[in-house]
């Protein structure tokens, strides 16, 4: 039997407003417990929620970016359930008339192919508080700072077919919300997390199989692992002649397994109804169009532009446009280097990325500015330094020893391109190593390439690596073969 996997993701994006979705309390992360929950967040009697206009604007930006229908009329609903971190006894969400309707987004797979994924809807809701189990012996602590934090829940169509596609989709949405400036996307702080719905069906079937929903995945790696594991679990069940039950499951990264939380039968009936405390919201076409004018250049457009304007490969361009900050850094580097796009791309994705990763820094915290990197690349291009010496200079710049020109000057790293001097050194090395010269001359051509390395090495030693490698190679070749 051939199986097919079907996946739909519900991504929860925390919108980066300063105040909450229905109150003026602050949303900043990391405050002392229960210092950022006001009477509205607690649902105390006599208070009324008021919608935060900034939240609406951010949701509309997302909708426009995925070519979705934006509702000109939408309402909020109460989703009723009981839990200690939900003091009102209901969560304000949206059910029938969400702010963002059907849209689409393109994802790119590792083999370079593209797929269009449908977005069913995106709706606004408030987050709940947090239950704290550590630090409280035999008790549960409740922190309501997060209660009322604005969330945009983005629901995909069941269009994803494997873990790789699900991760590519999630990364694409992550990049997009950060470009739009509607969320910081911080996954460690829970600002970007998802529930993965997974089912299996016989290949060729058009009816969906029974799904399990894995809750609260907060890293790309966990999404991938949880899905891979869940696919195996469900196929095992089906192949042994049993049926998958519809249920909610939790992923345990330590054990790399999922386990049941609650089944469909015990699932809550949320008794949704329109929230009588909140008026329906009307958005005019003009409101929507005016928000459209504030959209930045989006990731796909930037990627295409980089390919054209800088003659980059699709691969380089995808990597460099993964965040707006990285793309800006790249453009500034190219500018400072005098237009060296390919070298700039290589340095940024190579040495710079490696150094940033090693110290767990992001590009905005790079000790080497775009200006400094571009300045160094300029010196590679005009042959003042070789690529090898550049690596040393990059390290010095990283360690705060100034810009490339200063380091070249102070350390005397200027490349030796004086052909008279290089010729003299080549003659010296040839004269001093008659055995190696003999070996070179008696070897077949394809072996000589390797043997020449010995002579190059001698000359580099004499010049502390500063001799222009192209000149050295050319002269050595000429003199050794001439003899």
The DSSP H or E segment spanning 62 is helix 53-65
C-alpha 189/C-alpha 224 separation (Å) is: 19
- How far apart (Å, rounded) are the C-alpha atoms in residues 27 and 52? 12
Residues near 371 by beta carbon (within 8 Å), at least 6 away in sequence: 332, 333, 336, 403
Shortest reach from residue 196's CB to ligand ADP, in Å: 8
Pairing state between β 114-126 and 103-108: antiparallel
Residue nearest to ligand ADP (CB): 8
Question: Pick from 6, 166, 327, 416: which binds ligand ADP (CB under 6 A)?
Answer: 6
Contact letters (x/-) for ligand ADP, 259-288, by CB under 6 A? Answer: ------------------------------
Q: Which is nearer to ligand ADP, 6 or 336 (CB)?
A: 6
The answer to whether residue 158 forms part of the interface with ligand ADP (CB under 6 A) is: yes
Indicate which single residue of 149, 156, 386, 415 sits in contact with ligand ADP (rule: CB under 6 A): 156
Q: Report the nearest approach of ligand ADP to the CB of residue 256 (Å).
A: 21
With binding defined as CB under 6 A, does residue 93 bind ligand ADP? Answer: no
Residue 119 near ligand ADP by CB under 6 A: no
Shortest CB 353 distance to ligand ADP, Å: 33
Number of residues in contact with ligand ADP under rule CB under 6 A = 16
Stretch that binds ligand ADP, among 156-164, 273-281, 406-414, 442-450 (CB under 6 A): 156-164
Q: Indicate whether 10 belongs to the interface with ligand ADP (CB under 6 A).
A: yes
Residue closer to ligand ADP by CB (options 63, 209) is 209
Find the angle CA(103)-CA(113)-CA(212) to the nearest 5 degrees.
55
- Using the contact rule CB under 6 A, the part of the chain among 45-53, 108-116, 151-159, 394-402 near ligand ADP is 151-159
Nearer to ligand ADP by Cβ, of 8 and 49: the residue is 8
Phi-psi region of 185 (alpha: psi -120 to 50; beta: other; left: phi over 0): left
HEC profile of 192-245: EEEEEEEEEEECCCCCCCCCEEEEEECCHHHHHHHHHHHHHHHHHHHHCCCCCC
- CB closer to ligand ADP out of 10 and 277: 10
- Tokens 């571009």, residue? 374
Task: Kindly calculate the radius of gyration of the chain based on its CA atoms and give it in whole angstroms.
Answer: 30
Residue (158 or 469) nearer to ligand ADP, CB: 158
Residue 157 binds ligand ADP (CB under 6 A)? yes
Of residues 188-247, which lie at the interface with ligand ADP (CB under 6 A)? 197-199, 208-209, 211, 213
- Between 58 and 211, CB nearer to ligand ADP: 211
Q: Could you say which residues in the range 375-404 bind ligand ADP, by CB under 6 A?
A: none
For tokens 């909708």, name the residue: 63
| Shortest Cβ 246–ligand ADP spacing (Å) | 8
DSSP state of 416: B
Q: Does 155 bind ligand ADP (CB under 6 A)?
A: yes
Q: Which residues contact 148 (CB under 8 A, 6 or more apart)?
A: 20, 21, 22, 23, 25, 37, 40, 41, 126, 127
Burial 227-256 (b: 16+ CB within 10 A, else e): bebbbebbeeebeeeeebebbbbebeeeee
Between 227 and 476, whose beta carbon lies closer to ligand ADP? 227
**Residues contributing to the site for ligand ADP (CB under 6 A):** 6-10, 155-158, 197-199, 208-209, 211, 213
């Amino acid at each position: 039997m051939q199986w097919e996997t079907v996946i739909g993701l519900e991504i929860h994006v925390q919108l980066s407003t300063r105040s909450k979705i229905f109150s003026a309390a602050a949303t900043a992360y990391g405050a002392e417990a229960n210092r950022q929950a006001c009477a509205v967040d607690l649902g105390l009697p006599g208070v009324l929620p008021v919608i935060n206009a900034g939240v609406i604007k951010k949701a509309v930006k997302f909708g426009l970016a995925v070519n979705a229908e934006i509702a000109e009329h939408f309402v909020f609903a109460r989703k009723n359930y009981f839990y200690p971190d939900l003091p009102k006894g209901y969560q304000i969400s949206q059910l029938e008339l969400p702010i963002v309707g059907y849209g689409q987004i393109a994802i790119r797979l590792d083999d370079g192919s593209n797929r269009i994924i449908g977005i069913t809807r995106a709706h606004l809701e408030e987050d709940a508080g947090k239950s704290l189990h550590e630090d409280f012996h035999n008790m549960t602590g409740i922190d309501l700072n997060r209660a009322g934090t604005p969330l945009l829940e983005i629901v995909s169509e069941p269009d994803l077919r494997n873990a790789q596609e699900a991760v590519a989709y999630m990364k694409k949405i992550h990049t997009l919300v950060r470009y739009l400036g509607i969320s910081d996307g911080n996954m460690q702080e829970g600002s970007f997390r998802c529930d993965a719905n997974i089912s299996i069906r016989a290949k060729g079937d058009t009816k969906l199989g029974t799904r399990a929903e894995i809750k609260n995945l907060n890293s790309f790696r966990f999404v991938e692992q949880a899905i891979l594991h869940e696919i195996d679990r469900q196929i095992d069940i089906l192949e042994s002649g049993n049926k998958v039950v519809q249920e909610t499951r939790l992923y345990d990264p330590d054990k790399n397994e999922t386990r049941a939380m609650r089944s469909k039968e015990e699932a809550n009936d949320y008794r949704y109804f329109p929230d009588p405390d909140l008026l329906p919201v009307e958005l005019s076409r003009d409101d929507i169009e005016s928000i459209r004018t504030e959209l930045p250049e989006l990731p796909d457009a930037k990627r295409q532009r980089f390919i054209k304007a800088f003659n980059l490969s699709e691969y380089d361009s995808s990597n460099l446009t993964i965040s707006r900050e990285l793309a800006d850094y790249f453009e500034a580097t190219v500018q400072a280097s005098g237009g060296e796009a390919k070298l700039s791309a290589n340095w940024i994705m190579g040495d710079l990325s490696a150094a940033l990763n090693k110290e767990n820094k992001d590009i905005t915290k790079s000790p080497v500015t775009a200006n400094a990197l571009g300045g160094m690349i300029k010196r590679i291009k005009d042959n003042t330094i070789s690529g090898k010496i550049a690596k040393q200079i990059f390290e010095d710049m990283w360690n705060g020893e100034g810009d490339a020109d200063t380091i070249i000057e102070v350390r005397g790293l200027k490349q030796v391109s004086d052909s008279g001097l290089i010729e003299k050194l080549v003659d010296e090395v040839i004269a001093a190593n008659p055995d190696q010269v003999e070996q070179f001359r008696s070897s077949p051509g394809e072996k000589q390439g390797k043997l020449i390395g010995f002579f190059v090495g001698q000359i580099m030693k004499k010049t502390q690596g500063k001799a222009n490698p192209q000149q050295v190679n050319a002269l050595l070749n000429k003199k050794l073969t001439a003899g």
